[in-house]
Chain A
Amino acid sequence: MTNPTPAYVEGATVLLQERLTDDVYRLTVAATTGGGPGQFYMVHAWDREPLLARPISIHSVDEDTVSFLYQVRGRGTELLARLDEGGEVTLTGPLGHGFYTEELHGRVAIVTGGIGIAPVFCLASTLPPGDVTVIAGFKSTPYAVAELLTLGVDVQVATEDGCEGTRGFCTAIFDPTAFDTVVTCGPIPMMARVAQLCAEAVVPCQASLEAHMACGVGACLGCSFPTVSGNKRVCADGPVFDAAEVIWHA
Chain B
Amino acid sequence: MPGDERALEIDRVSKYYGHFPALRDIQLKIEAGSTLALLGRNGAGKTTLLRILAGLSKPSEGTVRVGGSDVREEKTRRRIGVLGHGISLYDELSAIENLKIFATLYGYADPGKRAGEWLERVGLDRVRDGLVREFSRGMRQRLAVARAFLHDPEILLFDEPFTALDDRAIAVLQGLLNGAHSAGRTIIMSTHQLREALVLATHVALIQRGQLAYTGERTQEMLDDPAYLYRTYGEN
**Chains A and B form a bound pair:** no
